[in-house]
Structure 1
Amino acid sequence: MVISTRARPPRKEGVVYTHITTRDYLNTLFFYRKIALMVFVWTVVIGLVIGLLQKPAYRAEARLLTLQAGYYNQSSVNDGTPAQPLEGQLVSIEAQILNSSELHRAVLKTLLGPNASRKQINEQLRVFEKHFRLEQDDLASTISLFYTDTDPKRAAEMLSRILTEYFDERAVIFTSGRVSSLAERRDVIRAELDKLNANMVAFQTKYGIVSIDDQIAHAVALQGLIRQRKLENNGALAQDRSTLASLLTSAKDVPATILLFSDNGEAARALDTMQLSQLQLEARRADLASRYMKSSPFVKQIDRQIKALRVSISQQKEKLVGVERYGHNAYYDTVQDRLSVVSSNIKGEIARQKELEDQLKTASASLQALIGAANELSQMQTDRNILTESLRSLSRQVEVASIDRIQADSASSTNVRVIQAPFPPAQPSNPLSMFIAASIVAGIVLPAVTILVLASLRETFLSPEQVERVMSLPVLSAPVMPAKKDMRRWFGGGKAAGDGTLLPASYPQRILYGRTITAIDTSSDAPTKLVMMISFHDHEGLLEIVQGLAAELEPRSSRSILVLDMASTPDNPLYGTPNDKGELPWQFGSGENRSDAPPPEESVQKLLEFLPVAGHDIIVARPREGTLTLTPHETTALFDSLRAQHDYVVVHAPPVSSSFAGVANTRLADATILVVRAERTRKPVVLGLKEQIQEAGGWIVGVILTHRKSYIPAFIYRFL
């Protein structure tokens, strides 16, 4: 049997379980319930202590209403309808005054007296601004003032002092020196306006300006007329130049003497007679050619006659002579006259063009001078309009400022009205119930944050769903441990596990190992199955898992179950020492009678010590030397020999933390099962072990999760 080439189900790579259920959240919550409860209790206790130690604080309140007033407009332009202020603009102006440090210093000076030092004022200012608070409502145009103190009367008194200093200071801010400043500014503008009027009169006299718009219009019209005449002259000049060039081109081919008479009639008549004879001969030849062959004497004779006649015609053409008579060409004189007229026109148009250009330059210079004078005059007029408007606006502001000064001198007539006067409060602003509620809210939030942080830092497993999501492998068995120590142990044994942990007996074996055995049976097509059981540490419950699996495999096999113990040492035999009968004790239930199995081969007996199990059809094989160190070929031969004797061979591999032999031999096994301990085995360790087994060629069929607990109470779990 060749183990390395046996058929296996296709491996599913990249399968990731991402679904997180409500059970996962509840597992995490109840796993950290002690820490969460401790954080909740301490948070509530600290909140209560702070609430009991905190002194009661009373908060006095005053409210102001802001109305529109003329002295908000501090600009120098106030013509026509006054602009409406933006939403909240008036409230913001008054809030800046109320919240200014200078106003607060003035209040403190009235309390501390004139002999207070700067350091004392600064210290009291920090305390004052810590207890003082201002809120503004832009829609309602109201300002709310709050002052907190342990003495309610003192809180109301401080707000009263603030309002008193506020009305005095804002009157100074809005009206101090405004009337005299506006009047002085008005006089300066009036002097500048008088000076500008005198300059405009002198400027118009200097440039002779009567109506600048009419003068510019006349200059523009004159310039347009000259430009039009110039364009017309340029067009005529271009036309005459083109005419002259055309006449010069035509005059080159006009001779002064031309042929008057030419006669060659007699020679032409003789030539026509010979050509007529040639046509007659060609017609006769065509008639003979239709009746005789080309080689006939008649046809050849007529061809010779036609050829001789053609030679005579050619000679006659060369000797053709006519009579010619020459005389003076009258058209030549007409062309010369036309050239003289066009040349004189061109010279006149060139002289007119020069004169028009001079006139156009003069008109343009005059127009530019008028435009410059108009711009300067327009600037003067604009400045005069601005100064006039400024003078009018300042005059109006002087009148308004005088009225505002009279109004602001009295606090009862100001636009800011006190709609809620400060009054000593009766109830504190920091009652104990507020601290209790805040501590309860913090006691709920802080444990949640603590659980979130701890869950993100935790690297161990709590449930089978977490194992499947992280490792992308199915969990074959994950029994829940009992909550009490006196319950029967895992897998129906009634004895403690190898590490003293109690195991549940309420689970039937078929439920605990049903999926595990199914995964083993379907792992390959081999008639016998060799299962490699691997864990990273020796405290993850692998011993109990192997014993329970072997006990469950008994009724499924006609031959004994072999457990190959590769993890025991002479000093620490994991499966115990044999009794007087040479049998090993087994902590899981009662099994079947031992079947009659043939003895193993002699070579195998030299390597392994075979010990039967009391009350079970199970054999435990241990290395005689304490360790099993073989070459790959020897290991393959050993596994083949064991397969031949048993239907199921369960290999208890040594922990990976101390030996790599189990991982190296996973390629020879039909199925490899990882054993992971809940709350103990770290995720990076298991993922690294999985990668090592897959790189070694092993086939991992699933994971067994041991020492799992039920964190969710039964009255909650029944609804899941």
Structure 2
Amino acid sequence: MILAFYHKRIILIVALLSIIAGLTAATYARTRYAAESLVMMMIDRSHAGISDVAGTLPSVLSIDGLKSVDSEIRILESRRVIEDTLSALDPVTLFPEIAHPRLFGLLPADSPQDQLEKAIDKFKRRLQVEQQSSSNIVRLSFSHEDPDLAADTVNALADAYLKRRRAIFDIPRSPFLASELARHSDQLKSIEGQIQALKSEYDIVDLGQESLLAANQVDSIVQRRRQTQERQAALQAEVAAAKKRLAALPERVFDFREQSNQNQNDDDRNVLLRLELERDRLASQFLPDYPPLQELERKIRTVRQSMKGGDKPVFNTTREVRNPTIPFLSNHLLTLEIEQDAVARQIDELNRQHTVAVEKVGRLRKAESELRDLERTRGVMEDIYRDYAQRTEAARAEEEAAKVRFSNVRVVQPAVAPATGTSMAPSFIIAGLVGGILLGGAAGVLATWLRQVYILPHEIERDLGVPAIASFSDTDGELVSPGAQQELIHLAAQLRDHGVDDQPMALVQFVTANDGDGDAIVARGLALEFAKGRGLRTLLIDLCGDGTGQLAAINAGADDKTDGDADAGTGERLPTIDPQGSGDLETLPSAVPLLWVSRQATGSALGSLRTPIAQSRQMLERLNQRFDIILILSPPIGNSHLARRLSPMVDANILVARAEHTRAPVAARMRDSILASGGDIVGLVLTGRHFHIPQVIYRWL
């Protein structure tokens, strides 16, 4: 509500403009008379026309009742029907404004074609075609300022629709279907002749059986050729091996060789063996001196002596015979070469048979492709011929029945001139009021979104991130109202309760961005609160002027009972502090006890930017020893660097912004400048706050 009352001017202006536009439109709104006519659609089999008489495409129109009625409505709203209606009524008579000169008479009127286009657009906007409650009744309505002309237009539209519908559906189909049937019959006979000629050319009885036999024959020949080639390779290997072996064999081979000195009937060894066996038998039974045993020993020596004799001749026998392998290998090689020649002739014959079989398969494949295309074409032509035959008979029957059949679209209620009309004036007025409310609200939202000044303390806290420690509404005066005094007491308590290093704040600087933001009034009120309300020795340093204005305002607002010599509570008064050297700060006592005001502070060392920072800091320390709290009024931060310079020297900086005056970017730049200088910000004081909601409404909140 605060935002709404703050932007009330913009909201009211935009709302009034919308209301005025609605009233203006209502003033120029004319009463229109709507003539009505009812048309009944009787759905039967003939109503659903066929868009493709050949039947190769799906039907566009559905035989479903509601969809058929909707199709009739689309025909009724078509451009062709509207053009026929305007041709019967004359577009200029129906809409005289299309013949008027354009652009307030500066341009000539439109051409006849452009006039017709404009008349068609206006006709479509004023025409209403509706289906009544999902039935087969269609309501035609046309609005016009002349009731008789509106009725004539509806009747002309119904007549043009019936003519157009008759031209669409009354199309004889049997002649076309009969000619197409004859043409497809000729094509079918031609395809049959081509199939017979193709079979005769390729000598085909049953293509499938002959193709299978030809494929089996090719496969058999291939298998036999592979086996013969394998045998040929084996024969070549055997012939090569036989020739190699035969070349390596000698013509004669060594049979045996024998050398011996043994004669025929030489039994010395056998005798020796028998004697030794007999000796061993006797030796095992008798003593060595047994005479028979000794006799055997002599016989053995004699036989051995005889065997060692060299008087026996030595015989050598060598025998060489013809190699028997040569005749065998020669015969086998001859057999292999003969078989190899036979196999070569067999492979040649198989190759010839394979070539013939492959050519036959190729011819059959070609014949199959051509025959398949012809048969496919014949199948499609037979289906088309059959379908055309059925459709031709059906079309003939329908055309014969249509000659004695009544129309399935009838005008139930012709249009008559209406007695009462309707006006858009109330609608325009309501639209203006509703639009005023909506546009006014939108204008308020847009103004709030574009607003860059602050009107509430929480907006400052949200945007700057700095707490709003006080807000004053009567900063044009001296903060004498009870509410302002309570806000000053609250502000003073916050400054004294939150100190630095367990010490209450003694040096406080007021920083503002613009002149006249109320920082001087807030500083004076806070100084009076510290001096009178808390009994603290307070010094107000005015670096924006010479201090006489601050002293005069304080003295003018002082209590009449205060004589300026002593404090009411303590009866104590400090003497005037005079300057002790060039550049020192001079202070003057005010009419309020314990409150001093600087004099010509801008010319002192504290107010000069040429003074070293160390000297300014020492000066503030000396003043801090004499006073309990010091309030410093610095010039606007956009005009002077003095506020940024003193910000790190004081205990706290208080930002001062004026409601509905200080812009958000300026306040943000003021905050950033103080923080960048190293100063601490204790909070922000909002001055000049207004309460936009009337008091009468506030009582109910």
**TM-score by structure 1 length?**
0.72
| Paired letter, 1:169 | R
Report the residue type matching 1:585 in the other structure.
Answer: A
For 1:565, which of 542, 562, 569 is the aligned residue? 542
Q: 1:452 aligns with which of 445, 450, 453?
A: 445
Total equivalences in the alignment? 611
- One-letter amino acid matched to 1:100: S
Deviation at 1:428, TM superposition (A): 4.0
For the Cα contact (< 8 Å) 2:579–2:585, is it kept in 1? no
Residue of structure 2 aligned with 1:705, choices 679, 686, 697: 686
Equivalent residue number for residue 217 of structure 1: 212
Secondary structure of 2:51's partner? coil
Provide the residue aligned with 1:50 in structure 2: 25
Does the 8 Å contact 1:196/1:384 carry over to 2? yes
Identify which range, 446-455 or 56-65, moves more after superposition. Answer: 56-65
Q: Which residue of 2 aligns with 1:363?
A: 357
SS of 1:161's partner is helix
* Structure-1 residue corresponding to 2:634: 653
User: Residues 513-551 of structure 1, C-alpha deviation per residue, up to 9 Å, x if partnerless?
Assistant: 525642565352256521110111122111111112212
Alpha-carbon offset, residue 691 of structure 1: 1.2
Q: Tell me: CA distance 1:244–1:462, structure 2 relative to 1, closer, same or farther (3 Å).
A: farther
Partner of 1:679 in structure 2?
660
- C-alpha distance in structure 1 between counterparts of 2:225 and 2:428, whole Å: 99
Residues 467 and 208 (structure 1 numbering): CA distance in 2 closer, same or farther, change over 3 Å? Answer: same
Whether contact under 8 Å (1:60, 1:156) holds in the other structure is yes
Moved more, 510-519 or 453-462: 510-519
Q: Is the Cα–Cα contact under 8 Å of residues 532 and 651 in structure 1 kept in the other structure? A: yes
Once the 2 structures are TM-superposed, how far is the Cα of residue 612 of structure 1 from its aligned partner? Answer: 1.7
Counterpart amino acid of 2:659?
Answer: A
Distance 2:559 2:175 in 1: 111
- 1:175 counterpart residue number: 170
CA distance in 2, matches of 1:468, 1:649: 26
Match for residue 190 of structure 2?
195
Closer/same/farther in 2, CA of residues 164 and 559 from structure 1, 3 Å limit: closer
1:524 aligns with 2:500: yes
Residue 435 of structure 2 aligns to which amino acid in structure 1? Answer: A
Matched letter for residue 704 of structure 1: V
- Structure 2: distance between partners of 1:341 and 1:37: 128
Contact 1:64 1:420 in 2 (8 A): no
Which residue of structure 2 lines up, in the alignment, with residue 106 of structure 1?
84
Q: Which residue, out of 491, 497, 514, partners 2:490?
A: 514
After superposition, where does 1:223-372 map in structure 2 within 5 Å? Answer: 223-236=218-231, 348-372=342-366
* 1:352 Cα offset (Å): 3.5
Letter in 1 for 2:521: E
Q: How big is the shift at 1:711?
A: 3.3
C-alpha distance in 1 between matches for 2:676 and 2:147: 79
Structure 1's 558 and 403: CA in aligned 2 closer, same or farther, altered over 3 A?
A: same
Partner of 1:476: 469
| Residue of structure 1 equivalent to 2:522 | 545
Cα separation, partners in 2 of 1:114 and 1:566, compared to 1, 3 Å: closer
Change over 3 Å in CA distance of 1:597–1:466 after alignment to 2: same
Unaligned runs of 5+ in 1: 1-25, 264-323, 482-489, 491-496
- The change in CA–CA distance for 1:460 and 1:205 in structure 2 (over 3 A counts) is same
Letter of the structure 2 residue corresponding to residue 381 of structure 1? E
CA shift in 2, pair 1:351/1:642, >3 Å? farther
AA aligned opposite 2:511: I
Instruction: Please list the CA deviations of residues 67-96 of structure 1 after superposition, one character each: whole Å capped at 9, or x if unmatched.
Output: 364562132434999898398864565344
Structure 2 stretches of 5 or more lacking a match? 95-110, 259-317
Taking the aligned partners of 2:423 and 2:138, their CA distance within structure 1 comes to 23
Q: Which residue of 1 aligns with 2:277?
A: none
Q: 2:436 is aligned with what amino acid?
A: G
Deviation at 1:98, TM superposition (A): 2.3
The answer to whether structure 1 residue 585 and structure 2 residue 561 are counterparts is no
Q: Which amino acid aligns with 2:383?
A: E
| 1:205 alignment counterpart | 200
Equivalent pair of 2:499/2:505 in contact (CA under 8 Å): no
Trace 1:436-451 onto structure 2 (pairs within 5 A): 436-451=429-444
Match of residue 463, structure 1, among 424, 434, 456: 456
- Does the CA-based 8 Å contact 1:175-1:401 persist in structure 2? no
Q: 1:672 & 1:255 partners in 2: Cα distance?
A: 132
Query: How far did residue 670 of structure 1 move?
Result: 1.3
Provide the TM-score with structure 2 as the length reference.
0.74
Distance 1:643-1:81 versus aligned 2 partners, 3 A rule: closer
Distance of 1:170 and 1:432 partners within structure 2: 39
Measure how far apart 1:167 and its partner are. Answer: 1.4
SS of residue matched to 1:190: helix
What corresponds to 1:665 in structure 2? 646
Give the corresponding residue for 2:481. Answer: 505
Q: CA deviation at 1:662?
A: 1.0
**Percentage identity across paired residues of the two chains:** 23
Return the alpha-carbon distance in structure 2 between the equivalents of residues 339 and 201 of structure 1: 59
Alpha-carbon separation, structure 2, partners of 1:163 and 1:207: 68
In structure 2, the residue matched to 1:27 is 2
Structure 1 residue 703: deviation in Å? 0.7
Q: Which residue of 1 aligns with 2:619?
A: 638
Cα distance in 2 for residues equivalent to 1:527 and 1:327: 146
Q: In the superposition, relative to structure 1, how do residues 717 and 615 fare at CA in structure 2: closer, same or farther (>3 Å)? A: same
Deviation at 1:458, TM superposition (A): 0.5
For 2:441 and 2:574, how far apart are their aligned partners in 1? 61
Residues 160 and 422 in structure 1, CA contact (< 8 A), matched pair in contact too: yes
Distance 1:444 1:407 in 2: 65
Look at both structures and tell me which one has the larger radius of gyration over its CA atoms: 2
Cα displacement (A) at 1:675: 0.6
1:370-389 equivalences in 2 (<5 Å)? 370-389=364-383
Aligned partner letter, 2:124: E
CA contact under 8 A between 1:171 and 1:408: conserved in structure 2? no
